Amino acid sequence: MTLLEDARAIQTDLVQLRRTLHREPEIGSDLPMTQAKLLAALDGLPLEVTTGAALSSVTAVLRGGRPGPAVLLRSDMDALPVGELSGEPFASQIDGAMHACGHDLHMAILVGVARLLSARRDELPGSIVFMFQPAEEGPGGAEPMIEEGVLDAAGSRAVAAYGLHVSSAHNARGVFSGRRGSLMSASDTIGVTVLGQGGHGSRPHRAKDPIPAACEMVTALSTRVTRAHDIFDPVVITVGSFHAGTAANVIPASAHFDCTVRSFSPEARAKVHQSINEVLTGIAHAHGLEVEIDRRDGYPVTVNDDTEAEFVAATVTDLYGADRYRWMEHPESGSEDFSFVLAAVPGTFVFLGACPPELDPATAPVNHAPQARFDDGVLADGTALLAELAVRRLARAATAADTLPAPRDAEAAPVSSP
C-alpha cells in the first residue's frame, strides 16, 4: 500500500484523536493534558521520546533502518483564549479556551505520520524528528525547543524541516498553498510612553501636554510607512491601544499607546524600527517632551527555501494532482514561530484548506474566530503529504550521497612499476 492509502486507512483514528484534543484545549507553554494525550498516542511506536524542560513539548525521534541524515516535521500544540461558538458536538469543554487555529488537526496529522513511518522504519535511510511544540500563539515555543536541542535531536542537525497549517477559510477544502521566499510576516510590538508635565486644562502653557504629541506620533507613523518604505516590500504599523488622562480638565503627565509592526523581509524589519525611533524621538523633542520606546521583538519573517518550496509543490501535484496546489501571489500578513526553525534549517511551511464543504471559503469564519470550524476530512491528506515529504527528502539525500566522489583515503593506492 502507498502512504496515502495507509493514511486513509487510519483516518477514523485520526479524527478521534483530533476531537479528543479539541475537547480539552490548553493555552501557552504549560500543556500537561495535551502532552499526556500525545504521549499516549505515540506509545508503542519505535520512537525515542523526550519531553521539554522549559515547556510541555514532546520530541520523538524515529531512527531508520539505514544510516542517513535527519528530517524534522513540526506540529504546534496550543489553543487560543477564545470562547468556542462553533456548535460542534465535540466543542471545547474548557471555558475561555478553543482550538480556533486548527492546532488539534496538526497534532493528529503528525501522530499519523509517526504511525505510518514507524511501519516503514526499516526502509528509511536516516531519521525523522517529530517536533510537537507548545506556545505558538505566544509567548513562543520554537526558540525554547531549539535551545533544548530539537534541531539536533537525531544526533546531527536536520537537513530539512517541514510544517503544515490548516485554514478554516480562504482556501478550498483539500487545496494546499505556498510560495517561495517570504511566506508570513514578522511581527513585533512597540509600547510608546510620551512623558510630559501635568497641569490644569485652562492653562496648557504651564504644562507639557503629551496628548497632542502622542496623537501626532500615531498619524506620523502611518505617513512614514508610505514615504520611507518600498511598496513592494511593505510594512504595516497598527496602533491598537491608546491611553491618556483621567478627566476633561486635567492635562496628564503621560500618554501611552501600543502598536504592532508587520514586515515581510529582514531588511524591511530593520528599517521600519529605525524609522519608528526617528519619528517618535523627533516629534517628542519638537514638543519639548521625552519618549520611552519599548520594542518587544516577536516572530521573524517566515521564509521558505526556494528549492524546498518547489519540492513540496511537486510532491502535492504528484500525490493529488495539479489542481490541489496553488502558488500564493502574496505572503500572509499573519506570523508564525516556525520561522525560527526555517532560519536555522532549510525547509518550507505549507497551508491546507480545511473549510467544511457546506461553507463558502470566501465567507467562512476565519482562524482565531470563535465560530471557526475545520473539516477533519483533510487529516489523511495532510498526514500523507508530510510522510511523503520526509521519505522523499531522505531518499534525495541518500541519492546525493551515493553520487559524491569517494574520499581520497578510500581510493586505491597507485601501483608502482617494478
Q: What is the pLDDT of residues 70-81, one digit of tens each?
A: 999 999 999 999
**Domain of 258?**
186-299
6 noted as active-site residue: no
Residue 408 lies in a domain: no
Domain match, 215 and 294 both = yes
90-96 contacts at long range (C-beta below 8 A, 24 or more positions apart) = 90/19, 90/22, 90/23, 91/22, 91/23, 92/22, 92/23, 92/24, 92/25, 93/23, 93/24, 94/24, 94/25, 94/26
* Alpha helix positions (H), 229-378: 266-286, 306-320, 339-344
- Closest by Cα among 75, 61, 72, 68 to 103: 75
% of residues, the chain, pLDDT over 70: 96
Residue 115 lies in a domain: yes
Q: 386 is written with which cell numbers?
A: 508530510
Residue 371 lies in a domain: yes
Band of residue 417 on the pLDDT scale cut at 50, 70, 90: very low
Judged against a pLDDT cut of 50, whether residue 410 lies above it is answered with no
Region 96-113: mean pLDDT is 98
305 noted as active-site residue: no
Domain match, 125 and 249 both = no
Question: Of 24, 76, 78, 381, which is the active-site residue?
Answer: 78
> Tell me, what's the pLDDT at 408?
53
> Tell me, what's the pLDDT at 364?
97
> Tell me, what's the pLDDT at 411?
41
Domain match, 93 and 118 both = yes
Domain match, 191 and 117 both = no
Domain match, 277 and 245 both = yes
Domain match, 63 and 178 both = yes
Band of residue 399 on the pLDDT scale cut at 50, 70, 90: confident
Count of the separate structural domains present in the chain = 2
The helix/strand/coil state of 248 is coil
Judged against a pLDDT cut of 60, whether residue 371 lies above it is answered with yes
Task: Output the domain CATH number for residue 263.
Answer: 3.30.70.360
Judged against a pLDDT cut of 90, whether residue 4 lies above it is answered with yes
Task: Output the domain CATH number for residue 114.
Answer: 3.40.630.10
> Tell me, what's the pLDDT at 131?
98
> Tell me, what's the pLDDT at 405?
57
Which of 124-128, 402-406, 414-418 ranks highest by mean pLDDT? 124-128
Mean pLDDT of all residues in the chain? Answer: 94
> Tell me, what's the pLDDT at 400?
78
Domain match, 44 and 150 both = yes
Band of residue 328 on the pLDDT scale cut at 50, 70, 90: very high
Region 371-389: mean pLDDT is 98
Question: What angle in degrees, to the nearest 10, is found between the helix axes of 306-320 and 379-402?
Answer: 120
pTM: 0.90
> Tell me, what's the pLDDT at 418?
33
Residue 54 lies in a domain: yes
Domain match, 27 and 152 both = yes
Judged against a pLDDT cut of 90, whether residue 401 lies above it is answered with no
Domain match, 321 and 257 both = no
Residue 405 lies in a domain: no
Domain match, 230 and 307 both = no
Question: Of 6, 24, 104, 136, which is the active-site residue?
Answer: 136
What is the distance of C-alpha 299 from the center of its chain?
A: 9
Residues 387, 389, 391, CA angle at the centre, nearest 5°? 70
Domain match, 135 and 57 both = yes
Judged against a pLDDT cut of 50, whether residue 414 lies above it is answered with no
Residue 55 lies in a domain: yes
- Closest by Cα among 390, 348, 151 to 143: 151
Residue 404 lies in a domain: no
